[in-house]
Amino acid sequence: MDQILGLAVSNLWWLPLFFIGALLFKIFKPYLKGKVGELAVAVHVKLYLKAPHYILLNDCTLPDEQSGTTQIDHILLSPFGIFVIETKNYTGWIFGGERQKMWTQKIYKNSYKFQNPLHQNYKHMKVLQDVLSDIIEPQYLHSVIVFMPESEFKTAMPDNVFRGAAWVDYVKGFQDEVIPAMKLKRIKLRIEKEVLEKSWKTNRMHVENLKQRKEMS
């Protein structure tokens, strides 16, 4: 009997690791899901928007006087303008209008509310405008929202909101060189100087700031 029990235990050595792995996956799932969407945008840039004309800065957390921090998924630098990109790795049906405060994701019979990404990215734009206020005019900063192809809009898709790689054509539509090379270099250096170090501590601080904002709203 002891032999059988010992054999059973030895064959189930992986079970605690499985439960630990499942717990970690549940904790980090939202983070990993977001990173998949951000990776897709990075791939689009590599394939369709070649350097040196386009420079992509990823996962930029900037200090914000009003709410502590703001986290920008991507900042795409180019002579044709600065593109502030918010990615949404959502599946299912999406319902939302430009002026609506909350949008809806519907997966089968389940519905989930999320903040209008246009409003979310407007906040990112304002913070970046403040950071670059002495270098570049606000009209050269452009908001871009990128949903993954797995999502399907059931309402009219607002301006500056795209699915998959369609956002690339929008960016390519800007062909006038409005930012000289030296100024573009200054912009890159300024952002790199202001952005907070990429670390678990920075991410936790940003999440805490988001929680406090939700509690106050």
Residue 2 lies in a domain: no
Predicted local confidence at residue 86, as pLDDT: 96
pLDDT band for 3, please (50, 70, 90 cuts).
Answer: low
Single pTM value for the model = 0.78
Question: What pLDDT sits at residue 68?
Answer: 82
Taking CA atoms, 126 is separated from 37, 76, 113, 217, in Å, by: 23, 16, 24, 19
Cα–Cα dist 148/163, whole Å: 5
Residue 176 has pLDDT above 80, yes or no: yes
User: Once rounded to an integer, what is the mean pLDDT over residues 190-212?
Assistant: 65
Residue 57 neighbours by CB distance under 10 Å: 18
Q: Is 108 helix (H, G, I), strand (E, B) or coil?
A: coil
Task: Judge whether 156 lies within some domain.
Answer: yes
Q: Which phi and psi (to 5°) does residue 53 adopt?
A: -65, -30
Report the pLDDT value the prediction gives residue 99, as an integer from 0 to 100: 94
In which domain, by residue range, is 155 found? 19-216
pLDDT confidence of 2, banded at 50, 70, 90? low
List the one residue out of 104, 89, 79, 84 whose CA is nearest residue 36: 89
Residue 1 lies in a domain: no
Look at residue 13 and tell me if it is in a domain. Answer: no
Find out whether 101 and 119 touch, Cβ atoms under 8 Å.
yes
> What's the pLDDT band for 36 if we cut at 50, 70, 90?
low
pLDDT in tens, 88-102: 999 999 999 999 999
* Residue at 11 is within a domain: no
pLDDT at 23: 47
Cα 141 from Cα 164, distance rounded (Å): 21
pLDDT band at 26 (very low <50, low <70, confident <90, very high): very low
Domain assignment present for 8: no
Q: pLDDT digit string (tens) for 115-138?
A: 999 999 999 999 999 999 999 999
**Domain contains 55:** yes
Confidence label for 65 from pLDDT (cuts 50, 70 and 90): confident
**Total domain count for the chain?**
1
Per-residue DSSP letter, 177: -
In a domain? residue 111: yes
Average pLDDT of span 147-156: 94
